[in-house]
Amino acid sequence: MSKLRVASFSISIDGFGAGPQQSLEHPLGVGGMELHQWVFPTQSFQQMHGGGGSGETGIDNDFVVRGFNNIGAWILGRNMFGPVRGPWPDGSWKGWWGDNPPYHVPVFVLTHHPREPLVMQGGTTFHFVTEGIHAALERARAAANGKDVRLGGGVATIRECLRAGLIDEMHLAISPVLLGSGEALFSGIDLVSLGFRCSEHASTPLATHVLLQRES
């Protein structure tokens, strides 16, 4: 069976995956963009956002590349798709990424409010799932056709999937940043009891990369 993976998910030293006061102006919360300074210079990020072949290679870039390997579908929480709350007022909001999002596979967005699928350029189609995480994972695995499913976040969605025992692997990038408050990724969650162990770690000037795998 395909794996459900978290990849390139940035957290602060004090364990926050997003800052406080998330808004359209601060989609990752106040200070949240600082968590991702390790990924912005990488060659992979630059290529995905129109930078051509420029950008840095090395450990940080290698982890970005690995995060896309063998991925056949994604799952996102609604906050990761956009700042709109409540019923969808119309179809005008199409995500943070422009007409050609970086996914290029089916993406299943968790929401309490129905919306028709949204077809974007480059092979990305957003499907809006109102039946919860288990239904989203079932649909994502079917769409992935044997490949892995990547769980993009945000924090609340990852926590829900952890508690349900659905996540097989997590790559976390611990940035040398303190946020003080925001969304704590592991508060009240016992990773040991859930069967996780650290199988790999590597450090760069901008992040400490940790791979956690759940033992079968």
Binned at pLDDT 50, 70 and 90, residue 155 comes out as: very high
Is residue 115 one of the residues assigned to a domain? yes
Question: Residues in the chain, how many?
Answer: 216
Is residue 89 one of the residues assigned to a domain? no
Is residue 75 one of the residues assigned to a domain? yes
Helical ranges in 49-202 per DSSP H: 59-68, 78-81, 133-144, 155-163
Domain encompassing residue 186: 4-19+30-84+100-214
Kindly report the backbone phi and psi dihedral angles of residue 157, in degrees, each rounded to the nearest multiple of 5, phi listed first.
Answer: -70, -40
Is residue 25 one of the residues assigned to a domain? no
Binned at pLDDT 50, 70 and 90, residue 149 comes out as: very high
User: Span 87-111, mean pLDDT?
Assistant: 91
Number of domains the chain is built from: 1
Is residue 68 one of the residues assigned to a domain? yes
Cis before 154? omega within 30: yes
Question: How many other β-carbons are positioned within 10 Å of the β-carbon of residue 50?
Answer: 8
Radius of gyration of the chain (CA): 17
- Cα-Cα-Cα-Cα torsion 205, 208, 209, 210, nearest 10 degrees, comes to 170
Statement: the pTM of the whole predicted model exceeds 0.85: yes
CATH (domain of 38): 3.40.430.10
Binned at pLDDT 50, 70 and 90, residue 91 comes out as: confident
By the 8 A CB rule, do 138 and 148 touch?
no
Q: What does the alpha-carbon distance between residue 67 and residue 41 come to, in Å, rounded to a whole number?
A: 16
Is residue 95 one of the residues assigned to a domain? no
Q: What pLDDT, in 10s, does the model give residues 112-145? A: 999 999 999 999 999 999 999 999 999 999 999 9
Q: What is the pLDDT of residue 20?
A: 83
Q: What pLDDT, in 10s, does the model give residues 201-211? A: 999 999 999 99
Q: What does the alpha-carbon distance between residue 212 and residue 195 come to, in Å, rounded to a whole number?
A: 10
- Measured at the CA of 135, the angle between CA 67 and CA 27, to 5 degrees, comes to 50
Binned at pLDDT 50, 70 and 90, residue 30 comes out as: confident
Where is 6: in which H helix or E strand?
strand 4-11
By the 8 A CB rule, do 63 and 45 touch?
no
Tell which residue, 54, 24, 22, has the closest CA to residue 41: 54
Is residue 92 one of the residues assigned to a domain? no
Is residue 123 one of the residues assigned to a domain? yes
